């Protein structure tokens, strides 16, 4: 049976107090699609206000430090995210892997720190355009997943249900370019195999999201690809008018696997 889809918005460095009304509009609309898990990952400084504004709606961070506390100026720990009202966090977004030079092992440590605190995690992977053109996309991303995945003992503790992988081709993020359904299907099948290799049967419970210029006009086609269990959405998550149709496209016609929640 299909996994319940997760549609998560990544607000990146967007969001002020004046945008709380938009978050409320998205949360209100999301509640009318019970077959879809919806979340918004907002700037760390907005988490507490957003969580208070929409108490029953999952609000997440966009990054987390791997350490519990200490001399890490400007960083935010998993416990701090929880304390502010977050229930999930993104780790390993390509913008951070690039600008902050985050390695796979660092991303893995961040994911483990967040999961062990009780947060859900969206772990991002994806290839550059050069890598895709060189025909190395699948092997590169599979290796990235192998090296970034939280350790397998978590499988027994229910970690796979709180973990999602977001496949985001770097060349498709914020560009209007979208990977083809065939390329997405090939990559997601490869990622599913890596997850099962890492977690056994529980690897089938990890949702694999697609990210990269998902919009109202292409969401249904992307969600129809096997092993696409949702989307990580940047630009089109900032306004309810753009985001809600994507949520609607993820609402299943038939049955989905029983109760799941990102929160």
Beta strands 230-233 and 207-211, pairing class: parallel
Q: Is 200 in the site for ligand PEP (CB under 6 A)?
A: no
- 188: annotated active-site residue: no
Q: Which of 34, 118, 158, 174 binds ligand PEP (CB under 6 A)?
A: 174
Q: Which of 3, 4, 5, 10 binds ligand PEP (CB under 6 A)?
A: 10
Q: Is 61 in the site for ligand PEP (CB under 6 A)?
A: no
What does the alpha-carbon distance between residue 122 and residue 197 come to, in Å, rounded to a whole number?
Answer: 19
Q: Which of 77, 87, 144, 213 binds ligand PEP (CB under 6 A)?
A: 213
CB under 8 Å to 35, separation ≥6 — which residues?
4, 5, 250, 251, 252, 256
* Minimum distance from residue 151 beta carbon to ligand PEP (Å): 25
Q: Is 62 in the site for ligand PEP (CB under 6 A)?
A: no
Long-range contacts for 253-261 (Cβ within 8 Å, ≥24 apart)? 255/1, 256/1, 256/2, 256/3, 256/4, 256/5, 256/35, 257/1, 257/2, 257/3, 257/4, 260/3, 260/4, 260/37, 260/161, 261/37, 261/58
| Residues in 223-252 that interact with ligand PEP by CB under 6 A | 232-236
* Minimum distance from residue 110 beta carbon to ligand PEP (Å): 16
Q: Which residue sits closest to ligand PEP, CB atoms considered?
A: 234
Q: Which of 211, 227, 244, 250 binds ligand PEP (CB under 6 A)?
A: 211
Task: Give me the active site residues, please.
Answer: 93, 168
């Amino acid at each position: 049976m299909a996994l319940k889809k997760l549609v998560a918005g990544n607000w990146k460095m967007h969001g002020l107090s004046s945008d709380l009304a938009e978050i409320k509009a998205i949360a209100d609309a999301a509640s009318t699609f019970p077959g879809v898990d919806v979340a918004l990952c907002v700037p760390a400084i907005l988490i507490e206000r957003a969580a208070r504004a929409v108490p029953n709606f999952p609000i997440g961070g966009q990054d987390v430090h791997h350490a519990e506390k200490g001399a890490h100026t400007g960083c935010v720990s998993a416990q701090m995210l929880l304390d502010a009202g977050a229930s999930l966090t993104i780790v390993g977004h390509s913008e951070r892997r690039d600008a902050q030079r985050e390695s796979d092992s660092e991303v893995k440590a961040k994911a483990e720190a967040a999961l062990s605190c009780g947060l859900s995690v969206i772990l991002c992977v994806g290839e550059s355009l050069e890598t895709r053109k060189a025909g190395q996309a699948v092997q590169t991303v599979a290796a990235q997943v192998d090296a970034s995945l939280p350790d397998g003992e978590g499988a027994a503790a229910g970690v796979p249900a709180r973990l999602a992988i977001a496949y985001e081709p770097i060349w498709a993020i914020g560009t209007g370019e979208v990977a083809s359904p065939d390329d997405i299907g090939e990559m997601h099948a490869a990622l599913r195999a890596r997850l099962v290799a890492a977690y056994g049967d529980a690897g089938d419970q990890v949702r694999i999201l697609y990210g990269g210029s998902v919009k109202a006009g292409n969401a249904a086609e992307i969600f129809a690809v096997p092993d696409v269990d949702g989307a990580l959405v940047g630009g089109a998550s900032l306004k309810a008018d753009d985001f809600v149709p994507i949520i609607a496209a993820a609402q299943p016609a038939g049955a989905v696997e029983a109760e799941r929640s990102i929160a």
